[in-house]
Structure 1
Amino acid sequence: MWCVCVWGVGVWGMCAGGGDVCGVTEISCFIVRQEGLNFVAEELENITIPELSGKEGNFHYNIRDVRIVDLNLSSAALLFHPNTGLCFQVHNSSISITFHRKLFYWLFHDVGQVNASADGVSFETVLMLGRNAAGRLKITNMTCTAAISSLTAQFSGTLKSVYQIMSVFLTMGIRFLLNKQICPVLSHAALVSLNTMMDTVPVRTPVDKYVGIDYSLLSDPKVMSDRLDMDFRGMFYPLENENETLAYRGVVPVVKEMNRMLHMAVSEYFFDSAMFAYYTANVLRIQIPESQMSLDFAYLLRTTFFGAIVFQAPVTSPTKAPLLLELSVTAPPHCTIKPSGVMVSVSALMNVLLVPSNSPTVTLATIIMEAKLSAQVTMKSKSLSIKLDLKRFKMFSPKSTLESLALIPLQTPV
């Protein structure tokens, strides 16, 4: 349950030096409480109690094969423990157990199975959360208290009445041993089982064949009375060179609503590192051959660059050679987050090329393009999707103002 509550979360905010923060509210803890009950029940069912033997006067007993067959942990709660971690409480619950008896009283010898019930079972565990060297969540320590109010046994057989009188010697020992086992079992489950499982959770993973994302923890989780915040790196990197990353820059966003299970806000650095990674991976470029252009656009290109086609092409019929557009981003795009929305600024070059057969490619023009796009970010299922709309676009020539004016007719179709 602790693992579900901590790791089954999204992205919420940002820390200094990272791209996002994961915030879990107490609403999510209430919802995953049942998963925690199942986990605790499975662990408690593994309790083993050693063979118990003794005597009281002429009464000799031997108890073995003590097994937990049912747990009623309905009155349980998962809470945030400020400045520490997660607190799991169980009060006034019950545990049903069975064991085999071997009893001797004077000349009587009896064996059989006994059903017993431990009532007033209460325990409280507090998990102290931190991070390991790799940036994974870790349970650094744990406190536990447990108590069982009473344990009653139901005997059957010829000596039932006698056994009921002497049962205090049997149940006292079983209750003592059972009570001693609860905290060690839960401690092993948290410090060993859960930590081992969390050590298998990757903190770096590929997004596609070009880039990956690093979501390692930058600091120990911050636990408040109503939520738990975890500072994640939230940084993308190119897979071919994982050490080539964007230096941190960004503004800390503020999330005011706390009425849902999870809250999400991302910094400019989160998006900038993604665009930097794709730029570094040499992905932000494209070639558009004339065969993929509309007839009107291809005609407009040939009209605009007719002089260059005629005078620069080293072929006898330059007007028949196909055109090619090469577009490439010249610098990593930059994201700006404001209350009015998200804007992405992009600078690129467009080379207009003539590709005659059996002749070298001819560069007709090099055009500088600048664009600003509005971004709409939404979360669907487990995926973060971004819709871009072009808000401003201009293109000009690096050579002269006159040549830039000649490009105005191309701006709208491009």
Structure 2
Amino acid sequence: MTSWLVSFFVLLSLGSSISAAVEPAGCKIRITDKGLEMLKAETLKFVEEELSNISMPEMKGDEGRFQYTITDVKIIELNLTHADLSFVPDVGLMFDVQNSSITLSFQRKILYWFFYDTGNINASAEGVNINTILNLVRDDEGRLKISNITCDANIHRMRAKFSGTLGRVYDFLASFLTTGMRFILNQQICPALDHAALVHVNSMLETIPVKTEVDDYIGIDYSLVDHPVLTSRSLDMHFRVRDTLTPSADVTSLMTTAVDPIISTYDRMVYFALSELFFDSGMFAYYRAGIFQMDINHERMSKDMEMLLRTTYFGTMMMMNPALVDAPFALHITVNSPPKTTIKTSGATVAVRAIVKVMVVPPGQAPVQLSSMTMETKFNAKVSVKEKRLSVHADLRRFKIFSNQSALESLALIPLQAPLKTMLQMSVVPLINNWTKRGIQIPLADGMELVEEVVEYHNGFIVIGANLHFSKGLRDMISQ
């Protein structure tokens, strides 16, 4: 019944009503009542399938001159039209069915005096009421878990229609049989739903990794930092979502300036809120792994850029070794501090500070360093969601270089500012975007898609709102 929850954690879903967590959440996810309304139809199908699998025992007995055996009891139709799926504040979810019906069929074997009769019986259970409440908590490993289920099922009345030559004679037996069957069916409904929730759903939730590796340099911790928060309109969850390979001391340092994301709207079915901590943690891991460096050799450098470098450092080369004058140039760029994300209502930016070494590469000899300069850049970062992946497109916004040796050399570098910026924009930024367009997988199960996405920027975090579309039924999604 509640297995639709699995689809949100094969991950990666808050609001002003959320209580303070133990630590800032890197990601928050909200499922709204609008999301529940859509999920109700899928949940109803799943419940009908679970109840259809109910097996009822053989019934034997006698009543007066009647001896009977009832076998092959099957539920052939459920009409759970008056069903509702809703949030229970501070508790979990409620699935409520009122005034619905169930149709059954079973085989009869009846001995009356010297007459022996067999045949099929159709019965209908009417006034079916089922009320189920699931308690949602965070377990010790940080997963979402159903801790308890409260279920109450009641069938108001049941009717049976006998067929065959002695159908009218057996009508008075119908009341006796249906009373017994109604009692047994009442006893079967809740255990079936309990087993589906506490065994099947929890077992599947346990298979979802709390920590997963993205690549050789970064792993993501998807654990909940607190119990889910439920209101009458939403289910809010706080996820750690940070790099698992970053030392704890560095994580603490990153968290000191982290802003706790806030979601204050309910217009979409689901919301994802990502804080600056979410992005900074990942970039810190890559920085610590040493992958934020690259070489730009003369083949990737424009002729104008190489000529400008040769003119700027002509005197230096002549003083060091006149034979270097005709040697090819190369630039070695190394990021020397963790990039920092800043998110404001106007958009997101990433500040990067790097050391740029100007090298000449004489053929057959070791490279010779001519100069070292500091480069400070700021990138505009546009966040988008496509095919269940969160991607970032970067665009160079600001660029500044200055010498590490002297203010006089910094003045001499001014003519290099514009050409270097253009080279980065044309050579380096496309490489960055080609890497970041792969994106990060949003924790949705196969068969569930995001549609009508909207990205909003706030001070310190980004909120992505979207509606949901099912391309597969819940049963197909769960059985994968």
TM-score normalised by L of structure 1 = 0.94
Structure 1: how far apart are the matches of 2:115 and 2:63?
Answer: 15
Residue 264 of structure 1: aligned partner: 272
Residue 424 of structure 2: aligned partner: none
Residue 310 of structure 1: aligned partner: 318
Match of 1:72 among 79, 83, 98: 79
Residue 31 of structure 1: aligned partner: 38
Shift of 1:388: 2.5
Residue 205 of structure 2: aligned partner: 198
- The question of 1:372 aligning with 2:349 is answered no
Match of 2:350 among 344, 350, 353: 344
Shift of 1:166: 1.2
**Which stretch of structure 1 is more off in the superposition, 389-398 or 176-185?**
389-398
- The question of 1:2 aligning with 2:2 is answered yes
Q: Secondary structure at the match of 1:265?
A: strand
Question: What does residue range 3-402 of structure 1 map to in structure 2 within 5 Å?
Answer: 3-5=3-5, 7-8=7-8, 11=13, 16-238=23-245, 246-247=251-252, 248-249=255-256, 250-313=258-321, 317-402=323-408
Shift of 1:47: 0.8
Q: Secondary structure at the match of 1:162?
A: coil
Q: Secondary structure at the match of 1:79?
A: strand
**Percent identity among equivalent residues?**
47
Deviation sequence 1:215-248 (CA, Å, 0-9, x none): 111111111010010010021345xx78786322
Amino acid at match of 2:387: S
Deviation sequence 1:335-362 (CA, Å, 0-9, x none): 1222333232211000111111222221
Q: Secondary structure at the match of 1:161?
A: coil
Contact 2:84 2:96 in 1 (8 A): yes
Shift of 1:331: 0.7
Amino acid at match of 2:315: G
**Which stretch of structure 1 is more off in the superposition, 107-116 or 248-257?**
248-257
| Structure 1 gaps, min length 5 | none
Shift of 1:413: 1.2
Evaluate the alpha carbon distance shift between residue 228 and residue 57 of structure 1 in structure 2; reply closer, same or farther with a 3 A threshold: same
Deviation sequence 1:9-50 (CA, Å, 0-9, x none): 864579533201111100000001111011111111111111
Give aligned pairs, total.
410
Q: Secondary structure at the match of 2:277?
A: helix
Contact 1:45 1:68 in 2 (8 A): yes
Shift of 1:285: 0.9
Amino acid at match of 2:374: I
**Which stretch of structure 1 is more off in the superposition, 73-82 or 352-361?**
352-361
| Structure 2 gaps, min length 5 | 421-480
Shift of 1:135: 1.4
Q: Secondary structure at the match of 2:193?
A: helix
Larger radius of gyration: 1
Deviation sequence 1:233-291 (CA, Å, 0-9, x none): 021345xx787863223012333222111123221111111111111122211111111
Amino acid at match of 1:383: R
Structure 2: how far apart are the matches of 1:246 and 1:291?
Answer: 40
Structure 1: how far apart are the matches of 2:230 and 2:347?
Answer: 31
Structure 1: how far apart are the matches of 2:334 and 2:216?
Answer: 19
Larger relative contact order, structure 1 or 2 (CA cutoff 8 Å, min sep 6): 2
Structure 2: how far apart are the matches of 1:244 and 1:106?
Answer: 87
Shift of 1:188: 0.4
Contact 2:25 2:261 in 1 (8 A): no
Amino acid at match of 2:345: P
Structure 2: how far apart are the matches of 1:127 and 1:209?
Answer: 39
Shift of 1:124: 0.9
Deviation sequence 1:364-386 (CA, Å, 0-9, x none): 11111112223222223312222
**Which stretch of structure 1 is more off in the superposition, 206-215 or 400-409?**
206-215
Deviation sequence 1:172-222 (CA, Å, 0-9, x none): 111110111000010000000000111111222333443232211111111
Q: Secondary structure at the match of 1:29?
A: helix
Amino acid at match of 1:122: N
Shift of 1:167: 0.9
Structure 1: how far apart are the matches of 2:59 and 2:249?
Answer: 64
Structure 1: how far apart are the matches of 2:247 and 2:85?
Answer: 39
